[in-house]
């Protein structure tokens, strides 16, 4: 199988000789990405070059990912992608950093990535805007799901500098995301600023890959750039431990067949890469040791009305696009959401498109319910945690096993409430 070859161009002065056999992709394909980003990155000091390069590199990875169809791969999934990227300072990436970036991409997508660099990118110019009087004190990702909703609500009660939130921009879900943030602003004790970063690719007459394993990397890198510009020491990616570890429910969901963007191994590689280019920003998951139910409880304790958890947040992995409901009710994230709400507030009045509990077991929409039930029917141990994905050596594994077991208990209790008990959820 021949690799898909791409050249990411910051400048559009024509391809170099080495890139003539590559498909050109440029930053303009992410429509409207630069102006809102630079408006929030406006600071008095120079913005780190490595952080600007990181944005270009992850944009290039995301675009190459979306422009390479998995259907053309020999196994229908794993691809070979050869990518050349224009950056400002190729020298600082010439050591271990580029290899670490390739490992991140390979971990997320299960593809073979060959990434090379060439000079030619320009520094983003200062836009001569007034710098905000109140400094940015924190940077975090905000999707509008239950986890980021709870974390932002918690941090909104800490009287300090501004919180800068990085969100994805999806026209269909923008209103829901705005309502979620509006509910937090109503009780906030500090200013919440937001970047809705673009993920829309403006290409015509070209089919794009429907999977998007590198989308999370794009948003993390954007948040890291903003944190570096504002001299903020960390970026928070709040994700409950159940879904951050995302243990495979079946062998068919192992490794990159499940989302790994907040897995501890992925974050460890990212942090190693940032340190290797001289950066000091750390990417952390403050909710790694919490179950979904415990996250929901945090939101309540932060002062949010219970109804906002179900009426303003969006946690679905496959949101219906042609129905009024925002949650399908059948996917794994929807089931984890249900179990967390039942465990914390004893009720879930989310409007779901389908009632997963009344679906016959043999229909496709019940596949995640069946897989989850079988997974809960069997014991879970340390081997199950590390066989699918490695974990950083510095992590204490006992709390990770514990959060998975507590999450399994929440899920088992939900199944029991709906007349589908499981044999072994915590052994």
Q: How many Cα atoms sit within 13 Å of 116 on the Cβ side?
A: 10
Q: Strand runs (DSSP E) across 274-404, as ranges?
A: 282-284
Q: Partners of 198 in the beta sheet?
A: 169
pLDDT, position 128: 60
- Beta carbons within 8 Å of 367's beta carbon, 6+ residues apart: none
C-alpha to C-alpha distances, 222 to 96, 219, 278, 299, 341, nearest whole angstrom: 21, 5, 17, 26, 31
Q: Partners of 352 in the beta sheet?
A: 327
Statement: the pTM of the whole predicted model exceeds 0.75 = yes
Q: How far is Cα 352 from Cα 117, in angstroms, rounded to an integer?
A: 46
pLDDT, position 427: 43
Residues in the chain with pLDDT < 50?
255, 426-427
pLDDT, position 251: 66
Q: How far is Cα 369 from Cα 398, in angstroms, rounded to an integer?
A: 27
C-alpha to C-alpha distances, 414 to 273, 280, 343, 371, 427, nearest whole angstrom: 40, 42, 8, 15, 17
Q: What are phi and psi of 348, to 5 degrees?
A: -145, 100
pLDDT, position 129: 60
Q: What are phi and psi of 25, to 5 degrees?
A: -130, 140
Structure tokens at 152: 């932002």
- Beta carbons within 8 Å of 75's beta carbon, 6+ residues apart: none
Q: How far is Cα 48 from Cα 92, in angstroms, rounded to an integer?
A: 12
Q: What is the DSSP string of 179-241?
A: HHHHHHHTT-SS-EEEEEEE--B--SS----S--TTHHHHHHHHHHHHHHHTT-SEEE----H
Q: Where are the domains of the chain?
A: 305-417
DSSP for residue 262: T
pLDDT, position 341: 96
pLDDT, position 1: 61
pLDDT, position 173: 79
């Amino acid at each position: 199988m021949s690799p898909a070859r791409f050249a990411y161009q910051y400048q559009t002065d024509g391809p170099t000789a080495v890139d003539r056999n590559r498909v050109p992709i440029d930053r303009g394909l992410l429509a409207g990405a630069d102006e809102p980003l630079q408006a929030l990155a406006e600071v008095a000091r120079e913005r780190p070059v490595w952080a600007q390069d990181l944005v270009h590199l992850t944009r290039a990875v995301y675009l190459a990912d979306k422009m390479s169809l998995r259907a053309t791969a020999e196994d229908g999934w794993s691809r070979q992608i050869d990518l050349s990227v224009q950056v400002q300072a190729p020298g600082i990436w010439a050591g271990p950093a580029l290899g670490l970036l390739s490992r991140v991409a390979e971990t997320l997508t299960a593809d073979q990535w060959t990434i090379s660099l060439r000079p030619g990118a320009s520094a983003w110019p200062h836009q001569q805007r007034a710098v905000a009087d109140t400094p940015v004190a924190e940077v975090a990702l905000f999707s509008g799901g239950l986890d980021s909703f709870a974390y932002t609500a918690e941090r909104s009660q800490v009287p300090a500098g501004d919180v800068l939130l990085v969100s994805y921009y999806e026209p269909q879900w923008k209103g829901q995301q705005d309502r979620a943030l509006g509910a937090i602003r109503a009780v906030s004790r500090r200013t919440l600023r937001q970047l809705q970063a673009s993920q829309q690719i403006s290409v015509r007459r070209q089919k794009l890959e429907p999977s998007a394993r590198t989308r999370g990397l794009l948003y993390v890198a954007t948040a890291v750039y903003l944190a570096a510009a504002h001299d903020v020491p960390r970026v928070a990616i709040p994700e409950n431990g159940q879904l951050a570890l995302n243990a495979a429910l079946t062998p068919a969901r192992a490794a990159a067949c499940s989302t790994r963007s907040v897995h501890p191994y992925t974050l460890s590689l990212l942090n190693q890469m940032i340190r290797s280019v001289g950066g000091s920003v750390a990417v952390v998951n403050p909710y790694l040791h919490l179950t979904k139910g415990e996250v929901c409880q945090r939101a309540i304790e932060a002062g949010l009305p219970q109804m906002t958890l179900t009426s303003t947040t969006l946690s679905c992995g496959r949101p219906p696009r042609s129905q009024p409901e925002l949650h399908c009710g059948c996917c794994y994230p929807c089931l984890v959401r249900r179990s967390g709400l039942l465990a914390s507030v004893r009720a879930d009045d989310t409007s779901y498109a389908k009632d997963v509990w009344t679906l016959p077991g043999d229909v496709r929409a019940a596949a995640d319910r069946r897989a989850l039930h079988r997974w809960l029917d069997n014991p879970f141990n340390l081997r199950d945690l590390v066989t699918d994905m490695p974990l950083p050596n510095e992590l204490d594994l006992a709390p990770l096993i514990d959060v998975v077991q507590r999450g399994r208990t929440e899920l088992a209790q939900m199944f029991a409430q709906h007349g589908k008990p499981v044999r072994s959820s915590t052994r």
